[in-house]
Amino acid sequence: MQPDAAHRVVALARAAEPRCGATVVIGIDGPSGSGKTTLAEAVRERLDCPVLHMDDLFPGWDGLAQATGLLTDQVLRPLAAGEPAGYRRWDWLASRWAERIEVPATPLLIVEGCASTVRPAGDYVAVRVWIEAARDVRMSRGLERDGETYRPHWERWAAQERELFSADRTRERADLVIRT
């Protein structure tokens, strides 16, 4: 990752105007294995704010496109309206919805993961970050992180990413593009 990447994201966040009520949402988006979680953690350490992981919102291996609507309806729209926000966490092992996670009203919120800046959710995001890496690097990271059980799902998930990101023009709408 670029050594100053977190610093650049923090600078953008501090200068941003909220688009989600009083909350500045920082969206860290890009394909699987590109380094989104690592960057989000580095930014969180500097800003001391909550992080919402999109992995908790995907309803299974075929749910990428649904997640942006879930994020919008359950978290961003309520936050923007000053109402309680939260979401049901997807339990990947049981393949079903689990407990509700509350999302507090906060001045800064990081949303990291695939589709975190895809519309309609992207309309609430004040700082849109796109992070990318070569396909073989991403696949290697994904398998290292998730184990061999991830391999059969890699191409299926990557096809969803290509379709969603292309239709939304997610990378082109980013405020900052980072290559890892």
More confident residue, 157 or 14: 14
Percent of the chain with pLDDT over 70: 98
- pLDDT tier for residue 152 given thresholds of 50, 70 and 90: confident
Flag whether pLDDT at 3 surpasses 70. no
Question: From the centroid of its chain, how far is CA 148?
Answer: 23
Question: What domains are there in the chain, each with its CATH number?
Answer: 5-52+107-179 (3.40.50.300)
Per-residue pLDDT band for 84 (boundaries 50, 70, 90) equals very high
Res 66: pLDDT:
95
pLDDT at 1 over 70: no
Computed over every residue of the chain, the mean pLDDT equals: 92
Alpha carbon distance 70, 54 (integer Å): 10
Q: What is the pTM of this model?
A: 0.92
For every residue of the chain, which 3-state class applies, written as one string?
CCCCHHHHHHHHHHHCCCCECCEEEEEEECCCCCCHHHHHHHHHHHHCCCEEEHHHCCCCCCCHHHHHHHHHHHHHHHHHCCCCEEEEEEECCCCEEEEEEEECCCCEEEEECCCCCCCCHHHHCCEEEEEECCHHHHHHHHHHHHCHHHHHHHHHHHHHHHHHHHHHCCCCCCCEEEEC
- Alpha carbon distance 115, 47 (integer Å): 22
Q: Write out pLDDT tens, residues 51-79.
A: 999 999 999 999 999 999 999 999 999 99
Q: Are 109 and 26 in contact (CB under 8 A)?
A: yes
pLDDT for 2 equals 66
Residues 44 and 127 sit within 8 Å (Cβ to Cβ): no
Q: Which residue has the higher pLDDT, 147 or 111?
A: 111
Of 77 and 180, the one with more pLDDT: 77
